[in-house]
Structure 1
Amino acid sequence: MKSVNNFVDFEASIIPWLGKTSKMADCFLQEKLKEKGLDLSKEQVVVLKKLHEKDGLNQNELAFLTLRDKSTLTRLLSKMENKKYIQRIRSKEDKRISQVFLTEEGRNIYTKTTPVLRDLLDSLGKGITIEEKELTIRILKKVQVNMGVNADSL
């Protein structure tokens, strides 16, 4: 009987390195936000950024853009609403749809996060050339395409 080789060299794949790096970057961001006294999660920062770019997105659009399922996003938005960062307003045309808007407090907190994000990106990008960044982005987009995702639509 022939032996089947079940060995898979995950460490030679980029997948575990993507996962590890992503988790480390999330923790690093969380630390930096906490150091500045900002009571925000990475997910909340992402929502603030998306709404800063286009205020009044409906929850379905926001779920798609933030890669969250609807129930997870609803819980996240509830927390943000309790903090007075966002306001949900039901559509007059379709009561099932809520549009999400930044409040003045949400705009203020987002403004406070931008220097933290800038410092984070500078810190994480030390010693990496522009060419290396561009190559990394091209490779990651290829991985996303391989997963059937249009990376530029997010």
Structure 2
Amino acid sequence: MGAGWAVVPVMNLIMGVPLKVAAACSGILIGMGDCIAVWPYLLAGAIIPLFAAPWLVGQILGGIIGAQILIRVKASSVRFILIGILVFSSFGLITKGLKTLGYTPAIPGAVYIVVLLIIMAGVALGLTDKFPKLRGER
């Protein structure tokens, strides 16, 4: 996991950048770092260009499609989706840390799926207009 989970909240909450702009800039910032970081591996022959080419095409198409979707989506919807991603990521990091420290046994994969489904249901409820208090509306 890269630093994308931290870039968007920092840009939005601390720097005052609008959420949609912060989400778009996050991808650009991380993409620039990834472009530079990949060269040593490519020059050492650790990355086979034939296998990396489909990934590159997917990145470009995903960026274009994501930008078009981001134009049409409300900022509050983006906020709920990002909160869901952060909650699920933090669950995974906390359980991994507790397992590494020896406080808990390995968590079965089914538990991660159940947690993901619960978070997705919460995000879906937040995206509906039936709960205006969740969206910060009156």
TMscore range, shorter length: under 0.3
TM-score by length of 1: 0.24
Which structure has the greater CA radius of gyration?
Answer: 1
TM-score, L = length of structure 2: 0.27
Query: Of Structure 1 and Structure 2, which has the larger fraction of its residues in strand?
Result: 1
